[in-house]
Chains A and B, each alone.
Chain A
Amino acid sequence: SQKIEQNSEALNIQEGKTATLTCNYTNYSPAYLQWYRQDPGRGPVFLLLIRENEKEKRKERLKVTFDTTLKQSLFHITASQPADSATYLCAPSGGYQKVTFGTGTKLQVIP
C-alpha cells in the first residue's frame, strides 16, 4: 500500500540555522511533490511544488529537492526564524486527483 513518512515527530532547531525535513514515500510514482505548512488550529497552506523532472526548487529561504530514485524529498529552511515554527506536510501527487499527506514534521525554532 502507499505510504508517506516524514522524519521524527518534532524537530527543534536554533534560530539562524538551516532546518532540513525529510519526506519518504513508497508505492507512489508522483509527477510532483508538494509541501504545505500548517499552524495549530488552521488549515494547511501551500508552500512549494517540485516536479519529477526537477532536482531542486527554491523560493526565498525555502529549498526543496526531489529524488525519484530514492523516493525522497528534502525540505530546507535556511536562516530559520521563530515564525517558521509550524508543522510541515509533504504530499506526493499528480496523475490522480486526490492528495494524500504525510504525517507531518513539527518544527520548533528556538530563539
Chain B
Amino acid sequence: GAVVSQHPSWVICKSGTSVKIECRSLDFQATTMFWYRQFPKQSLMLMATSNEGSKATYEQGVEKDKFLINHASLTLSTLTVTSAHPEDSSFYICSALNTGGESGANVLTFGAGSRLTVL
C-alpha cells in the first residue's frame, strides 16, 4: 500500500534555530501534501496545503514566514520551522493525497509524525 516516510521522528533544538522536516511518498506520486500540527490530546490542525511546483496555501492564522513549505518534486515536501521558539514545540504530521486510493476518493496517507521540542 501507499507509504509516506517522515523524518526526523523527533528533534530537539535551541531557540532561534531552524528545523527542517521531510515528508516523502515512497511508492506513489503526491501532487498534494498536507501539513498538520497536533497538540497533546487535541485533534489535527491543518497548517497548509502543499502543491508540487507551486506555493503552499496556508490556513488562517498560520505564519507562512515561520513555517516554510517547499514541494519541489512529486514525492517530497519539506516543512522548515524558522527561528523556532518553545511555543513551536509540537507534533507535526505530514500527509499525502493519494488519489489512486479507494474508488478514486481523496484518501490521506500519513507520515509517522515529527516531535519537535524547542528549548
Contact = CB atoms under 8 A, between A and B. Distances in A.
Contacts of B6: 43
B107 interface: yes
Given A44-B110, A49-B102, A49-B107, A104 B46 contact: no
Contact of B46 (A32, A42, A45, A98): A98
Secondary structure of the A contact surface, majority rule: loop
Contacts of A44: 44, 93, 95, 108, 110
A44 B109 CA distance: 8
B34 interface: yes
Given A89-B43, A98-B49, A104-B43, A42 B106 contact: no
Contacts of A97: 32, 49, 97, 106
A96 to B, nearest CB: 9
Contacts of A8: none
Contact of A99 (B34, B42, B103, B115): B34
Q: Give the contact-size bracket for chain A.
A: 20 to 34
A10 to B, nearest CB: 10
Contacts of B46: 98-100
A46 B106 contact: no
Interface string B83-119: 0000000010101010001110111111111010000
A75 B27 CA distance: 30
B115 A41 contact: yes
Nearest to A102: B43
Interface string B1-44: 00010100000000000000000000000001010000000111
Which of B34, B43, B91, B101 has most A Cβ within 10 Å? B43
Interface in B26-75: 32, 34, 42-44, 46, 49
Contacts of A101: 43-44
